[in-house]
Chain A
Amino acid sequence: MDSLPELLAATARGEDSAWRRLIELYGRRVFAMAKAHCRRDELAEEITQSVFVTIAEKIGKGQYTEQGRFEAWLFRVTMNRVRDEVRRTGRQAGSVDPSVLSDFAGSSGRTEDVDEERHAEMNLLRLALNELGTSDREVIDLRHHAGLSFQTIADLLGEPLGTILARHHRALRKIRQFMESRSDSGEPARGGKES
């Protein structure tokens, strides 16, 4: 039993193992989505727990009917929690300075064999993300941090698929422009991978 509809059906019947499997499948994606905005592990975990409590509550009370939109629902709840938290605390990754980002990157799984160039490139990408407007950032986060398909993002945001693709493309171009401008101004990090 590993298909999503089966897991959801089993969870609705109260099978703990199915619920645990759902958490294993989606827990870190929800966590990454939250951490992309709040940058603190403990806060990102709190948001993650809150999201899954909400999902469990709805499923437990029989208020969720699987119609192929579980991921859209899950990450909509996540987006709402993240947005509420950002509003509440005024904390947004955009205010983080490069040195903090550098420290963060160094403490979050960077292995010793990753060279400095790559390290700087990742930091520059994070800075570029922070420069995006809400609309662009939303699509980038849902696509890359949540790992959703473009169709699911379109369902979630209630927009046509073509619009989502255009927004994604536009956001990538903005990131690219930001990285190029930083490179031109003598920043040590380079933008993007050479193709």
Chain B
Amino acid sequence: MTGHRNDHHPALQHGDRPDLPPELAAIAAGLDDIAEQDRRSAPRGLEDRVYERSRPVLSAGAPSLKFPSARVWRVAAAVAICGTAGLIGAYMVHTGGAGPSPASEPVGWSDETVLAALQSLDAEAAAWMSTPEAPGIGVAGDLSNIESQLAAVEVGLIDFWSPDPLAEEEDAL
């Protein structure tokens, strides 16, 4: 009961035996011998231990707890850290260090006022971004770091969620 079927393929002779030249048939026979050697090398009582360990799972029939892998935890932690850092960075860019900007003054909200405020904010942000080496500030550098970390996390997530045919098939019953 090894599951060998009678494969109807031109290269298969005598059921599941491929039509091999003698020198390759000899190699195949040698591989069978090695496999048999490995099977015979199984520690005494292997089947008993496998049975004892798996039988409770079989008879329980209840869903077992599955814990996320270490990798899942690492990715989740990285996402949380980067998200927090991103929020802090955004807050700093929006409010930090440059004193009250025209946009923060109570003004009348005419189109010209709004436009001027936006231009001022834009200029401020550009100034911050262009001075990464400013002592004691380094916001642009931080943002750059956050950006690179997010890119790394994104790569990790893409890798993590990429379909693995074998893993998918394992559950596809």
Contacts and interface: CB of A to CB of B under 8 A. Distances in A.
B34 A126 contact: yes
A131 interface: no
Contacts of B165: 158
A109 B7 contact: no
B3 A61 contact: no
B30 A193 contact: yes
Instruction: Give the secondary structure class of A's interface.
Output: helix
B151 interface: no
A9 to B, nearest CB: 14
Nearest to B3: A71
Interface in B17-72: 18, 20, 22-35, 37-43, 46-47, 49-51, 53-55, 57-64
A192 interface: yes
Nearest to A147: B2
Contact of B20 (A65, A76, A77, A169): A169
Contact of B55 (A56, A151, A168): A56
Interface residues of B, number: 55
B14 interface: no
A125 B30 contact: yes
A52 B55 CA distance: 9
Interface in A152-195: 152, 158, 161-162, 165, 168-169, 172-173, 175-176, 179, 191-195
B173 A148 contact: no
A32 B1 CA distance: 17
B80 interface: no
B16 interface: yes
A42 to B, nearest CB: 8
Nearest to B166: A80
Interface string A25-63: 101110110011000011011001100110111111111
A147 B1 CA distance: 10
Contacts of B62: 61
A179 B46 CA distance: 34
Nearest to B61: A60
Contacts of B31: 125, 129, 140, 143-144, 175
Most buried by A among B16, B26, B32, B47: B47
A139 to B, nearest CB: 11
Interface string B130-173: 00000000000000000000000000000000000111011001
Given A16-B55, A19-B54, A192 B2 contact: no
Contacts of A27: 42, 46-47, 50
Contact of A56 (B2, B39, B58): B58
Given A149-B5, A169-B18, 6 more contacts: A41-B43, A48-B50, A60-B59, A151-B7, A161-B9, A195-B26
Q: Which 8 A-B pairs have the closest CB atoms?
A: A195-B22, A108-B41, A149-B4, A56-B58, A193-B26, A32-B38, A192-B26, A56-B54
